[in-house]
């Protein structure tokens, strides 16, 4: 399923409206009705009886959705206090029409930047944040209102529903515009979005701000504009096929994972086991002489080959069956400098992680000039910033206008620059290919696995990807599938996970996938 930007969403809307399939007014009516349905689905206690809501409407179509929600709740017998930011006569047409319908029934008060005292009621007030959605173009300046919505969302007794996006958060990037303190930012218990999830629901702080996410179908047929290439979420039905065809072990590829020196082989061993578990036919650890005994004592199914230097790697790579390489985990800077160029010169599908990336921090272009389209770089944000400092800077700088630079933009720009697949790790792992395709593996909301932030987890991910590459899966799909399986293994194990536990979860995860 696509993850859209604001521009891609409005292109989808335009495509269907221009084709005469739907009108803006119909979309707004469905968005409002869908929001009410999502609220009642989340809180069934609100379905019966009359309750009270404070609805905050903004100056655009997000506000228009708010008027629809107010009208539908009032029709259910609710008491509504509705506030509008800006002038009714400046509302865009569909929002204006819904404002007028609301006026037949209720009051509109002017929203000012002061805390709103909800009228005393028996029971609670439901807050509806319909101030800004995908049209947020500059920082949210009603700081008292933002503070109040944030506090209400954090208060377990009070419910806040954000329409499309908690106002003030950029729906492309999941970043807050401007530099308000965390407690002066809006938040929600439930965010209801339309058609497709927006990238900002998944990226950066978006999930924390949104609380829980509900997606409502509003009958748009076009995913986005024809020819657009939005990011896609990695989901079970989009995984690269991981089931094995019957055949000899050599039909499933042979991965070579290079280790560091004595006492530093653990990371590469984790990678090698992951590559084997995900189904590479054979996996060999390339070990310097001094570490041979150490590795031999630990590994049984993984093979071992002495690789002291670039020359030895060249010799090893004379075997055409070695079709995937993994360099970086525990490799050490010296070995990285020696082995990475030789590995890349071979043209093999290659995963570069950890030391294989940081070794080139002083002169990233020296690395980039050797990369090719079958390489996958797997940096975390720190490693990414060393290789792509200017791109990382765009993500660090406080955004003053919307839409803000996102992690999708960053990974895409990095991939185009270096000519390889770039997997930027995080709870929102973004994987970009040089041709502009982007996958996002979301470990947020119900897939959140904070315990996956543990030593060696990244080494396992690198190995999973190397194993999938060995099996002939294309780099972008191998990286996306590896990242998805990695999170699934962590979910299956649960808290208390250490990196050694991940691979043991893989058979169960694969079984559940029907592999």
Ligand X SMILES: NC(=O)C1=CN([C@@H]2O[C@H](COP(=O)(O)OP(=O)(O)OC[C@H]3O[C@@H](n4cnc5c(N)ncnc54)[C@H](OP(=O)(O)O)[C@@H]3O)[C@@H](O)[C@H]2O)[C@@H](O)CC1
| CB neighbour class for 121 (10 Å; exposed up to 12, middle 13-18, buried from 19) | exposed
Point out which span in 131-139, 411-419, 440-448, 457-465 binds K ion (CB under 5 A).
131-139
Strands 428-432 and 421-424: antiparallel
Binding site partner of 129, from K ion, ligand X, none, Cβ cut-off 5-8 A by kind: K ion
Q: Shortest Cβ distance from residue 441 to ligand X (Å)?
A: 25
Q: Shortest Cβ distance from residue 448 to ligand X (Å)?
A: 25
| 31 contributes a contact to K ion by CB under 5 A | no
The footprint of ligand X (CB under 6 A) covers: 9-10, 13, 27-28, 31, 58-65, 92, 132-140, 163-164, 194, 218
Task: Name the binding residues for AMP.
Answer: 425-429, 458
| 171 contributes a contact to K ion by CB under 5 A | no
**Residue 140 CA to its chain's centroid (Å):** 24
Binding site partner of 388, from ligand X, K ion, none, Cβ cut-off 5-8 A by kind: none
Site for K ion (CB under 5 A): which residue of 6, 9, 162, 287? 162
236-241: long-range contacts, CB 8 A cutoff, minimum separation 24: 236/484, 236/513, 238/480, 239/480, 239/481, 239/484, 239/485, 239/513, 240/468, 240/473, 240/474, 240/477, 240/478, 240/480, 240/481, 241/473
Residue holding tokens 């944040």? 129
Residue closer to K ion (CB basis): 190 or 387: 190
Q: Shortest Cβ distance from residue 5 to ligand X (Å)?
A: 12
- Separation of alpha carbons 393 and 379, rounded Å: 16
Beginning with the edge strand found earlier in the chain, give each strand of the sheet holding 322-327 in spatial order. 2-3, 231-233, 438-442, 428-432, 421-424, 375-377, 349-352, 322-327, 254-258, 282-287, 303-306
Site for K ion (CB under 5 A): which residue of 167, 323, 406, 415? 167
Residue closer to ligand X (CB basis): 10 or 79: 10
- Separation of alpha carbons 24 and 215, rounded Å: 18
Give φ, ψ of 400 to 5 degrees. Answer: -105, -10
Residue 89: other Cβ atoms inside 10 A? 7
Binding site partner of 137, from ligand X, K ion, none, Cβ cut-off 5-8 A by kind: ligand X
Residue closer to ligand X (CB basis): 214 or 276: 214
Nearest to 390 by CA among 360, 416, 410: 410
Residue holding tokens 């030391």? 355
| 61 contributes a contact to K ion by CB under 5 A | no
| 129 contributes a contact to K ion by CB under 5 A | yes
Binding site partner of 213, from K ion, ligand X, none, Cβ cut-off 5-8 A by kind: none
Q: Shortest Cβ distance from residue 58 to K ion (Å)?
A: 7
Residue closer to K ion (CB basis): 213 or 295: 213
| 190 contributes a contact to K ion by CB under 5 A | no
Q: Shortest Cβ distance from residue 387 to ligand X (Å)?
A: 34
Nearest to 197 by CA among 490, 20, 428: 428
Point out which span in 97-105, 154-162, 265-273, 348-356 binds K ion (CB under 5 A).
154-162
End-to-end CA distance of the chain: 22
Q: Shortest Cβ distance from residue 169 to K ion (Å)?
A: 9
Residue closer to ligand X (CB basis): 65 or 383: 65
Residues near K ion, by CB under 5 A: 129, 133, 162-163, 167
């Amino acid at each position: 399923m696509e993850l859209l930007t604001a521009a891609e969403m409005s292109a989808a809307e335009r495509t269907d409206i221009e084709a005469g399939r739907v009108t803006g007014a119909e979309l707004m009516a469905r968005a409002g009705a869908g929001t009410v349905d999502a609220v009642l689905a989340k809180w069934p206690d609100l379905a019966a009886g009359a309750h009270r809501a404070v609805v905050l409407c903004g100056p655009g179509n997000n506000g228009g959705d708010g008027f629809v929600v107010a009208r539908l709740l009032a029709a259910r017998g609710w008491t509504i206090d509705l506030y509008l930011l800006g002038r009714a006569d400046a509302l865009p047409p569909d929002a204006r029409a819904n404002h007028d319908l609301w006026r037949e029934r209720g009051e509109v008060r002017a929203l000012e930047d002061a805390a709103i005292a909800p009228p005393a009621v028996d029971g609670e007030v439901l807050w509806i944040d319909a101030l800004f959605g995908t049209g947020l173009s500059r920082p949210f300046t009603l700081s008292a209102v933002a503070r109040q919505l944030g506090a209400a969302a954090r208060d377990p007794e009070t419910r806040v529903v954000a329409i499309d996006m908690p106002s003030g958060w950029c729906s492309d990037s999941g970043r807050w515009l401007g530099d308000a303190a965390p407690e002066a930012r809006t938040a929600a218990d439930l965010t209801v979005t339309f058609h497709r999830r927006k990238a900002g629901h998944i990226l950066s702080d978006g999930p924390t701000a949104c609380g829980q996410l509900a997606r409502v179908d509003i009958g748009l047929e076009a995913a986005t504009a024809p020819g657009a290439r939005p990011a896609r979420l990695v989901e079970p039905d989009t995984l690269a096929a991981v089931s094995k065809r019957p055949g000899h072990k050599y039909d499933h590829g042979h991965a070579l994972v290079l280790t560091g020196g004595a006492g530093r082989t653990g990371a590469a061993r984790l990678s090698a086991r992951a590559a084997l578990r995900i189904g590479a036919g054979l996996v060999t650890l390339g070990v310097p002489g001094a570490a041979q005994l150490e590795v031999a004592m630990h590994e049984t199914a993984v093979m071992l080959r002495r690789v002291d230097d670039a020359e030895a790697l060249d010799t090893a790579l004379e075997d055409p069956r070695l079709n995937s390489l993994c360099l970086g985990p525990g490799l050490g800077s010296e070995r990285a400098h020696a082995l990475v160029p030789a590995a890349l010169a071979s043209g093999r599908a290659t995963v570069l992680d950890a030391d294989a990336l940081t070794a080139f921090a002083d002169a990233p272009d020296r690395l980039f000039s050797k990369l090719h389209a079958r390489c996958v770089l797997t940096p975390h944000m720190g490693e990414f910033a060393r290789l792509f400092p200017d791109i990382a800077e765009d993500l660090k700088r406080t955004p003053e206008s919307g839409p803000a630079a996102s992690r999708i933009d960053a990974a895409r720009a990095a991939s185009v620059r270096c000519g390889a697949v770039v997997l930027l790790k995080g709870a929102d792992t973004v994987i970009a290919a040089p041709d502009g395709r982007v996958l996002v593996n979301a470990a947020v909301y119900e897939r959140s696995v904070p315990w996956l932030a543990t030593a060696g987890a990244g080494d396992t991910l690198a190995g999973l990807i190397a194993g999938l590459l060995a099996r002939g899966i294309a780099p972008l799909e191998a990286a996306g599938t590896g990242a998805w399986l990695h999170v699934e293994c962590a979910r299956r194990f649960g808290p208390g996970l250490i990196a050694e536990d991940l691979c043991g979860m893989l058979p169960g995860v694969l079984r559940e996938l029907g592999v």
